[in-house]
């Protein structure tokens, strides 16, 4: 049997998170943290260590209504085994099936079929043992299955040693004029001409490359997907599953289509939905045509020609995988179980690129979708994913994984008009729907609600909310929000209005929608003045002109809605998003079902991701043997600046705005593969069940070989490594330079590298804090310039912090002193404040095996103990098992005489900890549930330790309490212990810089 690193993989609990929390103590504390239910193998340690290790810690109360245990529902179960695309051998009689670099995955070989059967047999055993009936089985991009599970079944599977993880099936959502000209693809010297042009569909730009689009389906009859004599692509093994639509047809352009609905379910689908790959929503058709739609297609909206459109790789092939569905409640989404099934099929079908314009996790590298993409990338499939549309708030970016390319959205064209009011006021905004040359009366929508409608509904111009008599012949002023923007102009038209002014109530994007009547969309900065004019004049008038005199608009700029970093993953040591591309007012193919249009404008990172997917196809056409990481690097290092400094913030745009005119010849690349990703995951605290890392070379995330460098916790000095590879085809000398990063000194060694074609060199980059504000990011660029004219630029983001200290230090019960190693990030005086040390109330207890059931407060098998908390105290509850090798204990706290869980620690370990500062005063009950105990001893024995501290108890004395420190110079704080040498004690040391707390370390004795 093959034993892959995932086979005994377990992620550390919140002890790892607590360590990070100390390093970033200047940031607000997390609102909620609880260990998630997960696989529960027995630990391998046979005795407690002499120096107690810190178990996982729950650091805050659970959110209201949050449950720490499994509930009945659909889950995605990920097995421990390698999927077929990543299998490197090890099962007796079955040879490896992982493709060599630059080769396509071959799923139809005898070895692949044998190994697939092996995986299914293991999946079936696990499912049968739990009484589960899978609705999906996955073998190609990840090994596992999806199934409806009771709470008990989910718990049982989570304990199965053959299972990696059990994750609830989540509902995700899509992340919702001609960009080829703006990107330099067109023209006699454009990128397309370098790759065969657009006239010959057999040898044109993108030819031979297959782009898989996971979305809401596709319109096969659309001219953007017409077969113009294209050949069938080599290596394609997919099919055209037409479902219930007998008219659906594939071709050599649209080479395949499938649909996946078991996770979302067919009950409650919208009446207009089609159980087939047919796109009724429009989102999937738009993204597919943006990536690979035919060149030279005339786009017409409401009978008006809007221009000629093309996808980024017009000669590439498209494969559609419908995973997103509309429901009859006006919503919809994309189930993660359907998504993983689609990825599984896409890699088996033979796609080269995947576009994923769908939301996702913001921090979990072990999310099933992210894992499937990791294996896909390892098999040579490039993945472009949307960053999300929840900007400009920080730390909102999705898809944190380094093996895929996360894309931000930028503007790329100026489509403006001007509102001219009767008093001579001029307001420039986005306008794409004709003009109103003759002045007409103006009216505020909230001033003319229809009978039965309120002013709030009217202000938003909801359908039917406007009084027809008052709106007739008028320019109606509406607020953005709640309902679709184009629906607002339709509501104005239905009420008899002749034009609309759309106002942003808060800062936001300006979108060149194809409205049904003349419309100008204005920023919130114009809102007060426009409304004041209309409300303050007896006969206000307005007109919408097609000119934009006085406009200061520049492109490209990052859209306000585009999600920003810093990423919530890796403690700020990975930069996301990676790059930006056009994502505002993108004109492309659409579906006529909902809006009646075969073309439409759309905005979102959903629109920017397929730009990158299509552009990746162009690179893959030129460089067939490049890895997805190399393709990503080529795009990032050749990206260009946006128009303003705000958009050049790496947390907004990553490396910058994609520049196709340079990415085919980047000079050098930063390459990476699965072994690097294992090293990265090991550095993130992903371990085997016995606590050893999944890689013998765990690395800091900052050391992953990416075309960007981020350090979220620079304390004094840190050196990171990179490997650069010459892909210029000629002997080349590269010289390094650094721009920006004010207050941080940077040294690159060596700063001059001579490389033969295809050769690589390791370089180090040392960062030293030198006056940059503590707790704030400094940004800049590292650039390699070659003697042949290449310029490869990488974004830098470094945050100096005031201190680094361990989250927890434990010493034996009879210790007389304790040491805390500290690295300061400032020069001055390091102060200390002690809370505790206080002796614990220790109770010997036992609990019967609960058999894997869900936690129930009144279960008589559980051990219970009452707890009284006084306000303002540091409270810590510990479980110490008598049999840590065989027991798995879970710790819960409820309000006394209640069943709602307010705190929990539910890791796979026998020992658990809950530690909360300023616990709300009240009466509580502690519950201990035993999951697994030896058959010969069905009752688990353990100690319950409770500590409550609200001041310095005098039992830990740090001498001196203040020490002079310098940046990056380690110091060791030594404290004498005045305990009874028999009772466990607990406390905390806070570190200060003379004016504020900058870090803290928990101290356990015994």
Q: Which residues pair with 818 in a beta bridge?
A: 975
Query: Tokens standing for 833?
Result: 């404040």
Which pLDDT tens digit goes with each residue over 318-370?
A: 999 999 999 988 889 999 999 999 999 999 999 999 999 999 999 989 899 99
Query: Does the pLDDT value for residue 38 go beyond 50?
Result: no
Pick from 78-82, 117-121, 238-242, 420-424: least confident: 78-82
Q: What would the mean pLDDT of 560-564 be, rounded to a whole number?
A: 93
**Residue 469 vs residues 78, 229, 451, 466, 652: alpha-carbon distances, Å:** 61, 56, 11, 9, 46
Query: Tokens standing for 958?
Result: 């740090």
Closest CA to 257 of 173, 324, 342: 342
Closest CA to 788 of 738, 737, 729, 739: 729
Q: E strands, 482-522, where?
A: 499-503, 519-522
Pairwise CA distance, residues 174 & 605, whole Å: 9
- Reported as half-sphere exposure (CB side, CA atoms, 13 A), residue 618 has a value of 33
3-state secondary structure 405-437: EEEEEECCCCCEEEEEECCCCEEEEECCCCCEE
Please give the backbone phi and psi of residue 967, each rounded to the nearest 5 degrees, phi first.
-55, 125
Query: Does the pLDDT value for residue 18 go beyond 90?
Result: no
**DSSP per residue, 92-112:** TT----PPPTTSPP-TTSHHH
- Residue 692 pLDDT: 60
- The catalytic residue positions are 215, 283, 606
Query: Does the pLDDT value for residue 22 go beyond 70?
Result: no
508: confidence class by pLDDT, cuts 50, 70, 90? confident
What sign results for the dihedral spanned by CA atoms 176, 179, 182, 185? positive
Which pLDDT tens digit goes with each residue over 204-236?
A: 888 999 999 999 999 999 999 999 989 999 999
- Residue 69 pLDDT: 56
Count of Cβ atoms closer than 10 Å to residue 756 Cβ? 10
Share in percent of the chain as helix, strand, coil (round to 5): 20, 35, 50
Closest CA to 146 of 6, 341, 292, 289: 341
Regarding predicted confidence, which is higher, 548 or 66?
A: 548
Which pLDDT tens digit goes with each residue over 78-109?
A: 888 999 999 999 999 999 999 988 888 999 99
Q: Tell me whether the omega of the peptide bond preceding residue 505 falls within 30 degrees of 0, making it cis.
A: no
Regarding predicted confidence, which is higher, 500 or 179?
A: 500
66: confidence class by pLDDT, cuts 50, 70, 90? very low
Q: Which residues pair with 76 in a beta bridge?
A: 146, 167
Query: Does the pLDDT value for residue 757 go beyond 90?
Result: yes
Please give the backbone phi and psi of residue 497, each rounded to the nearest 5 degrees, phi first.
-70, 160
Q: What would the mean pLDDT of 874-902 be, rounded to a whole number?
A: 88
Share of the chain above pLDDT 70, in %: 91
840 contacts 879 by C-beta, under 8 angstroms: no
For the chain, the farthest-separated pair of C-alpha atoms sits apart, in whole angstroms, at: 91
- Residue 905 pLDDT: 85
Query: Tokens standing for 536?
Result: 């303050």
Query: Tokens standing for 124?
Result: 């079936």
Pick from 176-190, 570-584, 644-658, 937-951: least confident: 176-190
786 contacts 981 by C-beta, under 8 angstroms: no
Q: Tell me whether the omega of the peptide bond preceding residue 661 falls within 30 degrees of 0, making it cis.
A: no
- Residue 971 pLDDT: 95
Q: Tell me whether the omega of the peptide bond preceding residue 392 falls within 30 degrees of 0, making it cis.
A: yes
Count of Cβ atoms closer than 10 Å to residue 170 Cβ? 20
Closest CA to 440 of 518, 514, 535: 518
- Residue 872 pLDDT: 78
242 contacts 232 by C-beta, under 8 angstroms: no
Q: What would the mean pLDDT of 696-708 be, rounded to a whole number?
A: 95
Query: Does the pLDDT value for residue 536 go beyond 90?
Result: yes
Pick from 184-188, 326-330, 943-947: least confident: 184-188
Report which listed range, 152-166, 586-600, 633-647, is most confident. Answer: 633-647
Q: Which residues pair with 325 in a beta bridge?
A: 333
- Residue 26 pLDDT: 24
Query: Tokens standing for 732?
Result: 């080349």
Query: Does the pLDDT value for residue 596 go beyond 90?
Result: no
Count of Cβ atoms closer than 10 Å to residue 440 Cβ? 18
Pairwise CA distance, residues 1000 & 29, whole Å: 12
Query: Tokens standing for 134?
Result: 């899978």
753: confidence class by pLDDT, cuts 50, 70, 90? very high
Is residue 602 helix, strand or coil? strand
pTM above 0.75, yes or no: yes
Closest CA to 562 of 400, 393, 414: 393
Pairwise CA distance, residues 397 & 563, whole Å: 5
- Residue 163 pLDDT: 85
Pairwise CA distance, residues 301 & 312, whole Å: 21
933: confidence class by pLDDT, cuts 50, 70, 90? low
Query: Does the pLDDT value for residue 21 go beyond 60?
Result: no
Pick from 353-357, 517-521, 883-887: least confident: 883-887
Which pLDDT tens digit goes with each residue over 767-777?
A: 999 999 999 99
**Residue 355 vs residues 317, 324, 561, 576, 579: alpha-carbon distances, Å:** 13, 14, 20, 17, 15
Q: What would the mean pLDDT of 961-974 be, rounded to a whole number?
A: 93
What sign results for the dihedral spanned by CA atoms 598, 602, 606, 608? positive
271: confidence class by pLDDT, cuts 50, 70, 90? very high
Pairwise CA distance, residues 343 & 955, whole Å: 58
What's the mean pLDDT when you consider all of the chain?
88
- Residue 620 pLDDT: 96
Please give the backbone phi and psi of residue 403, each rounded to the nearest 5 degrees, phi first.
-85, -5
Query: Does the pLDDT value for residue 179 go beyond 80?
Result: no
Pairwise CA distance, residues 452 & 464, whole Å: 10
Count of Cβ atoms closer than 10 Å to residue 899 Cβ? 12
- Reported as half-sphere exposure (CB side, CA atoms, 13 A), residue 190 has a value of 18
Is residue 691 helix, strand or coil? coil
Query: Does the pLDDT value for residue 575 go beyond 90?
Result: yes
- Residue 691 pLDDT: 55
- Residue 181 pLDDT: 78
Q: List Cβ neighbours of 164 (8 Å cut-off, separation of 6 or more).
A: 6, 7, 9, 39, 78, 79, 80, 144, 366
Query: Does the pLDDT value for residue 12 go beyond 60?
Result: no
Hunting for tokens 């960007």 — which residue is that? 708
């Amino acid at each position: 049997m093959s034993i892959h690193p995932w086979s005994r993989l377990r992620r550390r609990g919140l002890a790892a998170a607590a360590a990070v929390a100390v390093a970033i103590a200047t940031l607000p504390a997390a609102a909620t943290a609880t260990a998630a239910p997960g696989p529960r193998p027995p630990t391998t340690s046979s005795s407690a260590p002499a120096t107690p290790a810190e178990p996982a810690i729950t650091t805050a109360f659970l959110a209201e209504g949050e449950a720490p245990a499994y509930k009945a529902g659909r889950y995605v179960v990920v097995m421990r085994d390698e999927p077929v695309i990543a299998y490197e051998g090890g099962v007796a009689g079955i040879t490896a099936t992982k493709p060599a670099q630059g080769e396509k995955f071959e799923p139809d070989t005898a070895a692949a079929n044998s190994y697939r059967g092996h995986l299914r047999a293991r999946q079936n055993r696990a499912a049968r043992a739990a009484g589960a009936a899978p609705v999906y089985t996955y073998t190609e991009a990840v090994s596992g299955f999806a199934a409806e599970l009771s709470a008990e079944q989910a718990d049982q599977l989570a304990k199965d040693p053959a299972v990696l993880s059990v994750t609830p099936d989540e509902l995700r959502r899509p992340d919702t004029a001609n960009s080829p000209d703006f990107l330099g693809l067109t023209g006699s010297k454009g990128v397309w001409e370098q790759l065969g042009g657009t006239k010959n569909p057999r040898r044109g730009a993108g030819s031979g490359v297959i782009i898989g689009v996971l979305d809401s389906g596709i319109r096969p009859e659309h001219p953007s997907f017409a077969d113009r004599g294209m050949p069938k692509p080599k290596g394609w093994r997919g099919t055209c599953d037409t479902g219930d639509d007998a008219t659906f047809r594939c071709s050599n352009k649209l080479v395949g289509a499938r649909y996946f609905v078991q996770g979302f379910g067919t009950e409650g689908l919208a009446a207009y939905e089609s159980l087939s790959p047919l796109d009724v929503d429009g989102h999937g058709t738009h993204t597919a045509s943006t990536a690979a739609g035919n060149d030279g297609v005339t786009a017409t909206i409401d009978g008006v020609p809007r221009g000629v459109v093309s996808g980024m790789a017009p000669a590439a092939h498209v494969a559609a995988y419908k995973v997103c569905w509309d429901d009859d409640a006006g919503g919809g989404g994309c189930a993660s179980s359907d998504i993983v099934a689609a990825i599984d099929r896409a890699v088996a079908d033979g796609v080269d690129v995947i576009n994923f314009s769908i939301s996702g996790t913001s921090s979990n590298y072990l999310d099933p979708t992210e894992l499937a993409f990791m294996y896909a990338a390892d098999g040579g499939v490039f993945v472009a994913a949307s960053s999300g549309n929840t900007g400009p708030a920080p730390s909102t970016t999705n898809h944190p994984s380094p093996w895929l390319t996360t894309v931000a959205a930028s503007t790329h064209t100026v489509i403006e008009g001007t509102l001219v009011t009767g008093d001579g006021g001029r307001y420039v905004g986005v306008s794409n729907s004709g003009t109103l040359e003759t002045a007409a009366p103006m009216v505020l929508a909230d001033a003319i609600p229809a009978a039965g409608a309120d002013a709030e509904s009217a202000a938003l111009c909801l359908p039917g909310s406007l009084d027809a008599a008052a709106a007739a012949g008028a320019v109606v002023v509406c607020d953005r929000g709640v309902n679709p923007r184009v629906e607002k102009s339709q509501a104005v038209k239905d009420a008899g209005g002749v034009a609309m002014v759309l106002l942003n109530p808060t800062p936001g994007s300006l979108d060149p929608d194809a409205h049904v009547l003349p419309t100008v969309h204005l920023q919130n900065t114009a809102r007060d003045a426009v409304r004041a004019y209309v409300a303050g004049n007896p006969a206000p008038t307005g007109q919408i002109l097609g000119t934009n005199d006085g406009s200061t608009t520049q492109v490209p700029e990052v859209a306000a809605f585009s999600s920003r970093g810093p990423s919530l993953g890796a403690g700020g040591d990975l930069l996301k998003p990676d790059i930006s591309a056009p994502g505002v007012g993108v004109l492309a193919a659409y579906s006529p079902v909902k809006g009646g249009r075969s073309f439409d404008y759309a905005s979102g990172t959903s629109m920017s991701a397929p730009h990158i997917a299509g552009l990746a196809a162009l690179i893959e056409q030129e460089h067939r043997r490049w890895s997805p990481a190399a393709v990503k690097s080529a795009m990032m290092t050749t990206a260009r600046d946006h128009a303003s400094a705000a958009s050049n913030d790496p947390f907004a745009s990553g490396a910058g705005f994609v520049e196709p005119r340079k990415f085919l010849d980047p000079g050098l690349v930063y390459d990476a593969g699965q072994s690097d990703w294992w090293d990265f995951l090991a550095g993130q605290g992903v371990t085997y069940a016995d606590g050893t890392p999944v890689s013998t070379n765990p690395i800091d995330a900052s050391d992953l070989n990416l075309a960007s460098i981020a350090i979220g916790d620079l304390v004094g000095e840190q050196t990171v490594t990179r490997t650069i590879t010459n892909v210029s085809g000629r002997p080349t000398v590269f010289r390094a330079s650094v721009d920006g990063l004010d207050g941080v000194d940077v040294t690159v060694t060596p700063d001059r590298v001579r490389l033969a074609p295809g050769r690589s060199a390791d370089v180090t980059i040392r960062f030293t804090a030198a006056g940059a504000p503590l707790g704030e990011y400094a940004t800049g660029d590292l650039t390699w310039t070659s003697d042949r004219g290449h310029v490869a630029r990488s974004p830098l983001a470094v945050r100096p912090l005031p201190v680094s200290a361990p989250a927890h230090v434990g010493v034996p019960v009879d210790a007389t002193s304790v040491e805390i190693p500290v690295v300061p990030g400032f020069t001055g005086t390091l102060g200390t404040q002690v809370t505790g040390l206080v002796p614990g109330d220790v109770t010997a207890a036992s609990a019967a095996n609960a058999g894997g059931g869900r936690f129930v407060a009144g279960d008589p098998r559980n051990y219970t103990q009452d707890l009284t908390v006084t306000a303002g105290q540091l409270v810590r509850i510990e479980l110490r098992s008598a049999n840590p090798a065989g027991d798995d204990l879970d710790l819960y706290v409820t309000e006394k005489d209640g069943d709602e869980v307010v705190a929990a620690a539910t890791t796979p370990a026998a020992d658990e900890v809950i530690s909360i500062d300023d616990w709300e005063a009240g009466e509580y009950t502690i519950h201990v549930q035993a999951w697994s105990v030896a058959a010969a001893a069905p009752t688990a024995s353990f100690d319950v330790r409770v500590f409550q501290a609200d001041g310095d108890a005098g039992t830990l004395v740090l001498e001196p309490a203040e020490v002079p420190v310098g940046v990056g110079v380690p110091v060791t704080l030594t404290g004498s212990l005045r305990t009874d040498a028999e009772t466990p004690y607990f406390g905390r040391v806070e570190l200060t810089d003379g004016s504020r707390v900058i870090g803290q370390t928990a101290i356990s004795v015994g």
